[in-house]
Amino acid sequence: MKFSGLLAWSAIGPLFLLPSAMAADSPLDTLAHRAVQTTLTRFADRKLTADQVAVTLVDLSDPRAPRQASVRGGERIYPASVIKLFYLAAVHRWMEDGRLTDTPEVRRAMRDMIVDSSNDATHYLIDLLTGTTSGPELPPAEIKAWFDARNAVTRYFEGLGYRNVLAHKKPWGDGPYGRESQAIQLFEPKRNMLSTDDTARLLVEIVDGRCVTRTRSAQMRELLARDLGTQDPDPDNQAKFTGTVLPASARLWSKAGWTSQTRHDATYVELPGGARYVFVAFTVGHAGEREILRSLARVVAEGMSAASR
């Protein structure tokens, strides 16, 4: 089975098409919709609804002709820790341009942000990227300048043609406080936001070696590698979000995110039969139900495996 082309390319990277522009009879589009519908049916008794799921699937099996399909792929959704992918790419861009010095401490923070999903490490890197710090509330003129500076990463991705990347907030446990809370009260947008389409685009660029530079893309990808054989008992180990439904010999690179209301996974998968694909799934309102993400990923993995035979 061959998938019809759904992904255009430009000098700055892939231009993801809106769902309305996709071919209705595309097998890849059918697979993405089947994953969602199967999962909605399975979890109907938990009141999972269509507006609580968004997915984007990119087939990379033929590197000359990547193909994409999505369901609600352009919706802005609170991304939880998936936003850290964008901070990672921005740090590498800043270092490449000489705006940020490459130090062992920066490397340690990047590793902890992606491998362990550390919020503290992310706070440090956001401070470096934006020239801002957390702290006491500020006078009106100063808080406005502070918020403008904090949007440096958002502006960077806007300049690359990303449509739904709002990356200006620190991920918190108990916070925010002080000027972080002050800015939320005063300015829009109030939260980080991503779409699954834009998240998939960034992952594709990292996988293909086109994010900043080939060398830096490889370094990012190294941090995203997950061990499918992990013996970590933590049910929220990032390898277990959707990796548990993959064949043991598959390979997985990912960044998961979760809060009390959201559970997401952004993945690049290589299956034993040769299929290569990016699959991003965001779910809202059922964060405690780990099997929803796995259901989506299982249908996609089975479909991509069958298509590669």
The closest alpha carbon to 79, from 296, 289, 281, belongs to 281
Task: Indicate yes or no: pTM above 0.75.
Answer: yes
Q: Which two tokens stand for residue 64?
A: 């000359």
d(CA 263, CA 187): 26
What is the structure's pLDDT at 188?
Answer: 94
What is the structure's pLDDT at 4?
Answer: 36
With beta carbons less than 8 A apart as the criterion, state whether 248 and 235 touch.
Answer: no
What is the structure's pLDDT at 97?
Answer: 98
188 residue type, one letter: E
Integer-rounded Cα radius of gyration of the chain: 19
Q: What is the pLDDT of residues 29-38, one digit of tens each?
A: 999 999 999 9
- The pLDDT averaged over each successive group of 10 residues in the chain (309 residues) is 39 38 65 98 98 98 91 98 98 98 98 98 98 98 98 98 98 93 96 98 98 98 97 96 97 97 98 97 97 98 93
d(CA 74, CA 164): 7
Q: What is the pLDDT of residues 158-186, one digit of tens each?
A: 999 999 999 999 999 888 999 999 999 99
Cis peptide leading into 104, omega within 30 of 0?
A: no
Q: What are phi and psi of 299, to 5 degrees?
A: -60, -40
Residues ≥6 apart with Cβ < 8 Å to 287: 258, 259, 260, 261, 262, 263
d(CA 273, CA 287): 32
112 residue type, one letter: D
